[in-house]
Structure 1
Amino acid sequence: MQVITDQVYAFSKDNAPCATAHPGEVLVFKTLDCFSNRIPDENTTMADLDYTYGFANPAAGPVHVEGAEPGDVLVVDIYEVEVADEGTIATDDHCGPLFEMTGYRTKKIPIRDGMADFNGVKFPINPMIGVIGTAPDGEDVIDGFVGAHGGNLDNKLITKGTRLYLPVRVPGALLQMGDVHAAMGDAELCGTGIEIPAEITVKVSLIKDFELHWPVHETFGPHGKWYVNASAQEFDEALKNASKELQRLLMRITGWDAVETYMYMSAQSDVELNQACKPCEVQLSLRIGTPKLPGFPPLVG
């Protein structure tokens, strides 16, 4: 099993791959926290760090997936997300709805036996991957930003047991991931969840020649759903991006026309926030989830 330890700070078609994987291969990505492990204690805040390109949200990788070509879909099955025994929450003076009364502060959160301890209040962790994606075929995208390639999706459902579908835009896909949170609420209000180093175990595979405009993920079990993830600077545009993609994918498998599909989405599909700590230069990220349709083909594949 290959272990990926190299770190990069942008999604780029020019990044040299640190490893090559074959479809069906299982990989382990060893990740730093979003601060590159540079906040050792509560006396250090984000004000002490150079939070610019080359520092924030490092991602392990990239990995060249053999046989991946533009127009394919990279499938990532998340087998495990194992986190360290301490995480970090930090605030700054420009991010989130309460930034004007917040300022810079750091809090260390112990993790024991699957529980986080916040001032004596203990709650279960839900380790999730904040940054995951493939290389875009255009300009580089810094790891802290999100887009149609994936990136800083900050979706708390991208966790153990989830299957993620990513558009392939460059040969080899160039998969990378990082920015794990031990726990994070939808929207990540103050701009950070419980940021933490981690080891992520995944399996990679391919779907050949499938048109996918935005990342999609699939959950399983009796309440399993399909989710389209999309982003934009403002909510209405992000909502339109996700709605159009979900509508297109549903029409493909059902044969319904656009208006009937739109009606069905209004009755059965839920809009949920991923990352929305506005005001923030990072785009708003959201997901639309829809129940799986018995008797119909998969939404992707």
Structure 2
Amino acid sequence: MKILDNLNYVFSKDNEPVCTASPGEIITFKTADCFANQVKDESFTMDKLDLNKANPTAGPLYLEGAEPGDVIAVDILDIKVGKRGFACSIPEVGPLAKFSEMRTRIFEIENEYVEFGGLKWKINPMIGVIGLAPEEGEIACGHAYKHGGNLDSKKITKGTTVYLPVEHPGGLLQIGDLHASMGDGEVSGTGIEVPGEVVVRVNLIKDFELKWPVIETEDKWYVNGVGDNFSEAFLSASEELLRLMKPAYPLDETDIFIYLSLQGDIEINQYVHPVDGEMPSVRYGVPKTEYAKPLIEI
């Protein structure tokens, strides 16, 4: 098993691969926390951090045979998080920013549980950043778009598969920004940020058009959309979900629209506005059913 443990802060076709894998191979990505392990205790508030070292990822991984127009399927086999993490509030970020001061809280993780002010709950380890090289230019690991990136979906966890559209030879997969626990929206700007390891299996789907990242869970398909606002993000996810459902479901476009009104779920991945350059990320899901074909098949 190959282990990737470097730090990379942007997605770009110019990033030199640190590893090559064949379809079906199992790889471990070893990552720092979202601020590259700068936070040592609760005195390390946002004003004392180097924000140029945000959302580091391990990689990129070059998948043999991957070409533009293909899809890379990433099976999340395991996520192991560290024993200590942090969460914080960020000035002027999130819907309750006007009620909040700048603060950092440290969390000790014991037997898969965390405690906070007398409250206790089981962690839900997840991947914040996962993506391939974008079609053009470079995109900071803290941002999300069609290539993936900082999707911050709590559905990207052990047992799920993430499908990503390939824009450049090898795809150039990067993974980082693990959370021990995070609610939808990540409203204060962070989850419980932790270092850790992700074990994945990488597969290749040849000649399959995919416009936005897709997540397959045990019981649902989700399309992830990004936009300047929630309406644009939802529209992106909706149009791609419709396009993927058309060849798989025994319904025309209008009936799919009606079906989604009955069975579809729109959920928020991340909303940390007004961080400069950040855009809302949403997921639009539909239940799996024996009465329709899978949206994507390997």
TM bracket (short chain): over 0.9
The answer to whether the 8 A contact 1:97-1:279 is kept is no
CA distance in 2, matches of 1:293, 1:213: 23
CA distance in 2, matches of 1:103, 1:279: 16
Show the 5 A alignment for 1:1-301. Answer: 1-52=1-52, 55-220=53-218, 224-281=219-276, 282-301=278-297
- Shift in Å, 1:255: 4.9
AA matched with 1:119: G
Q: Normalization by structure 2: what TM-score?
A: 0.97
After superposition, the C-alpha distances for 1:48-77 in whole angstroms (9 at most, x for unaligned) are 11213xx10000101000110000000000
CA distance in 2, matches of 1:168, 1:214: 11
- Shift in Å, 1:228: 0.5
CA distance in 2, matches of 1:255, 1:118: 49
Which runs of no fewer than 5 residues in structure 1 stay unpaired?
none
- Shift in Å, 1:257: 2.1
CA distance in 2, matches of 1:255, 1:210: 20
After superposition, the C-alpha distances for 1:193-242 in whole angstroms (9 at most, x for unaligned) are 0000010000000110000000001111xxx0111011112000001000
The answer to whether the 8 A contact 1:96-1:280 is kept is no
After superposition, the C-alpha distances for 1:234-265 in whole angstroms (9 at most, x for unaligned) are 00000100000000001121253221111111
CA distance in 1, matches of 2:198, 2:161: 13
SS state of the match for residue 245, structure 2? helix
AA matched with 2:214: V
Which runs of no fewer than 5 residues in structure 2 stay unpaired?
none
Q: Normalization by structure 1: what TM-score?
A: 0.96
- Shift in Å, 1:102: 2.0
CA distance in 2, matches of 1:81, 1:154: 15
AA matched with 1:176: Q
CA distance in 1, matches of 2:86, 2:30: 18
**Between 209-218 and 96-105, the greater mean CA deviation after superposition:** 96-105
SS state of the match for residue 11, structure 1? strand
